[in-house]
Amino acid sequence: MAIVVQTNMLSLNAQKRLFESSAGLNGALEQLSTGRRISRAADDAANLQIGGRLAGQFQGLNQAVRNANDGIAITQIAEGALAGTEKSLQRIRQLAVQAQNGILSAADKIALNKEANALLDEIDRTAETTEFGGKKLLDGSFRGEFSDGANKGQVMELDLTKLAEGFNRTELGLQGLNVATATVTGGPALAASDISGAGAYPGANQGIVLFENTYSAGERRFAVSNNAGVSYEEVVVNFTGNGATDNNLLINAINSTLGGAVVSSAEPSFEDVITNGVQPDFRIAFESTNNADFIDMTAGSIGTYTSSNSGGSSEILSALDNALTQVAETRAELGAKQNAFQSSMRNMMIMAENVGGAKSKIMDTDYAVATADLTKQQIIQQSTVTLMGRAAQIPQSALFLLQN
């Protein structure tokens, strides 16, 4: 080996080794201090991409578990509220049966009906006020999706729109329920096959005449249609015996049931007339047992039908049984959905555990390996520094040659 002064190759080589050992030492220290094997793309570019994808899936699964917990909370709140509704319906049914006791006076039955109506008010209040996080659950509007995984399209739906306006007395078919008289005006729409003889009123001068002189007080039932007789809704009016008053009662009841200004009034001195203007889709029928006070006018005709609610105690109990079935079915659906959420949570937690383990093997520091590497790099660095000192002394041999 030549003895030179200008270029100390041994020192340069030692410096290169020192740089490499310092970089290795810094890497080992960073892994140990951060707990991450890969902190930047330069550490392991390929595995950084894989680890990042796994990290996104891991975080998504954990958030989906929290979302499912909210879904479970909603099902529990809704089911608990419906349990109260079901209890109220059971009590109303008990009152309806009690009212069929021949020993009771009219006042006794009125008292029973007051309790029944108070319970119906509570059913309406429950439907309107049950909510979670500001969202109403039982008013017929709630439909939500909850994550069933970490990726697009992995959702579970919770739908509480079975009843359009919620679990209130109207949607449960109990509007106008009266345990004292064993009547209820709610229930499903009448089919066209239930009606006979109801014709259209296409002209502005056609209508229904109610004679004041023979008109009597009491409950009257009508079936009305505004879709050319495809289906009918039942209207119940408690007439007073005063023609002018009852005319308005019937008008308001028809318009309220059909959802608009379908019929209007004209009032000659000797009779009350309900006219519908130009409404070719309008039809009306009266209950066949209460038709004495009505006649036809011009080309239009009033049909007849047998009221779906004329069955007395059997009808009111049937309506309550239908309402109880609706509530019980929904409670069962909510229970099944709660179990589905819990099953989904278990699956997602298992997936999160496995994905987290795979991510850890790629991204996290193995302290046993990193500590051994740190020790190795420290020894190499110390040895390199010592050798650099020795290499720096080698050019001094040239002075020895010159002195001799």
Question: Largest Cα–Cα distance of the chain, in whole Å?
Answer: 154
pLDDT(295) > 60: no
Cβ pair 287, 220 in contact under 8 A: yes
Provide the residue type at 227 as one letter: N
List the one residue out of 12, 1, 2 whose CA is nearest residue 392: 12
Task: Enumerate the β-bridge partners of residue 272.
Answer: 210
Regarding predicted confidence, which is higher, 40 or 173?
173
* pLDDT tier for residue 311 given thresholds of 50, 70 and 90: very low
d(Cα 166, Cα 160) in Å, to the nearest integer?
8
pLDDT at residue number 4: 65
pLDDT at residue number 9: 72
pLDDT at residue number 297: 53
Report the mean per-residue pLDDT for the chain.
80
DSSP-derived secondary structure letter, 195: E
Pair of tokens at residue 70: 């909210």
pLDDT(72) > 90: yes
Regarding predicted confidence, which is higher, 311 or 140?
140
Average pLDDT in the 302-308 region?
73
* pLDDT tier for residue 294 given thresholds of 50, 70 and 90: low
Q: Are strands 264-266 and 271-275 parallel, antiparallel or unpaired?
A: antiparallel
Q: Which tens digit of pLDDT belongs to each residue from 75-110?
A: 999 999 999 999 999 999 999 999 888 898 888 888
Cα 5 to the center of its chain, rounded Å: 85
List the one residue out of 290, 240, 96 whose CA is nearest residue 174: 96
pLDDT at residue number 310: 41
d(Cα 373, Cα 394) in Å, to the nearest integer?
32
* pLDDT tier for residue 12 given thresholds of 50, 70 and 90: confident
Burial of 56: CB neighbours in 10 Å, binned 0-12, 13-18, 19+: middle
Coil, strand, or helix at residue 51? Answer: helix
DSSP-derived secondary structure letter, 25: H
List the one residue out of 71, 86, 160, 84 whose CA is nearest residue 342: 71
pLDDT at residue number 84: 95
d(Cα 15, Cα 34) in Å, to the nearest integer?
28
Which of 137-146, 161-170, 254-263, 292-301 has the highest mean predicted lDDT (pLDDT)? 137-146
Q: Are strands 283-287 and 195-196 parallel, antiparallel or unpaired?
A: unpaired
List the one residue out of 266, 227, 221, 269 whose CA is nearest residue 248: 266
DSSP-derived secondary structure letter, 284: E
d(Cα 401, Cα 404) in Å, to the nearest integer?
5
d(Cα 262, Cα 278) in Å, to the nearest integer?
9
Pair of tokens at residue 236: 């119940």
pLDDT at residue number 8: 67
Task: Enumerate the β-bridge partners of residue 190.
Answer: 232
Q: Which tens digit of pLDDT belongs to each residue from 206-229?
A: 677 765 555 577 777 788 888 888
Q: Which tens digit of pLDDT belongs to each residue from 159-213?
A: 888 877 789 988 888 887 888 877 776 555 567 777 888 888 766 666 777 655 5
